[in-house]
Amino acid sequence: MKAVLLAAALLGLGGCSTVQLAGARGLTQYAYAFVQQEAEEAEERDLAESRRLEERARRLYAQARDHGLRGLALGRPGFERALHAEPRPAVAALPASDVPLLYWTAASWAALIALSKDSPERLAELPAVEALIDRALELDESFGRGAIHTFLISYEPVRQGAPGDPAQRARAHRAGSSPLLRRLPLESNLPGPGRSRR
């Protein structure tokens, strides 16, 4: 119910990057903490209920991603189309002020993909997620007390086509995050494509 009220409020407020960030962050956190976790807990006792909750989590993550994309597209006509066509050039000019939107768009999209591993269409969207999170890291690796590094620790082992040893890349992110992790925020505990049990 809270997610429905949040979504309705955000729709009424329209195109402001602060509002879109609130939607991306709030819906992602809600989906993870109150829907996906419940789906995982229900799996052994009620598989049908677990599947229903997973589908709800997917819808919430998709809504969160869409808020993030709308925020990033403000004042940038054709941004979303460019992101799908050529992800890295599309994000190359985004400024440091967009790091929160970059992070939360990537986090929600990655969580959606992690729950949709049987969908080739979803898996084909990973290059866009990688471009978003890599640009966020390039602009501000300290965001969220190391949240970007924490995301990449779990993502590097499943990243396709990257040079070098995946475990070594993950260790480098662990080393990069250590000085920043006095206290882990919720964003550091969000799932990425490498964390889903499916």
Rounded CA-CA distance 140/122 in Å is 27
Tell me if 156 sits within 8 A of 162, measured CB to CB. yes
Q: With a cut of 50, which residues of the chain have pLDDT below it?
A: 1, 5, 8, 12, 182-190, 194-198
For 88-155, what is the HEC assignment?
Answer: HHHHCCCCHHHHHHHHHHHHHHHHHHHCCCCCHHHHCCHHHHHHHHHHHHHHCCCHHHCHHHHHHHHH
The CATH superfamily label for domain 2-76+89-189 reads TRAP transporter T-component (1.25.40.920)
Report pLDDT for 70. Answer: 97
Give the residue from 43, 61, 152, 73 showing the smallest Cα distance to 104. 61
Q: Please, what is the end-to-end C-alpha distance for the chain in angstroms?
A: 27
At residue 173's C-alpha, the angle toward residues 168 and 179, to 5°, is: 135
Q: Report the distance separating Cα 73 and Cα 70, nearest Å.
A: 5
Q: Per residue in 18-75, pLDDT tens?
A: 999 999 999 999 999 999 999 999 988 999 999 999 999 999 999 999 999 999 999 9
pLDDT at position 8, please?
46
String of b and e for 178-197 (b: at least 16 CB within 10 Å)?
eebeeeeeebbebbbbbebe
Give the domain ranges of the chain: 2-76+89-189
Average pLDDT, the chain: 85
Cα–Cα separations (whole angstroms), residue 152 to 61, 67, 139, 176: 19, 22, 15, 11
Supply the pLDDT for residue 157: 84
Asked if 188 and 150 touch (Cβ cutoff 8 Å), the reply is: yes
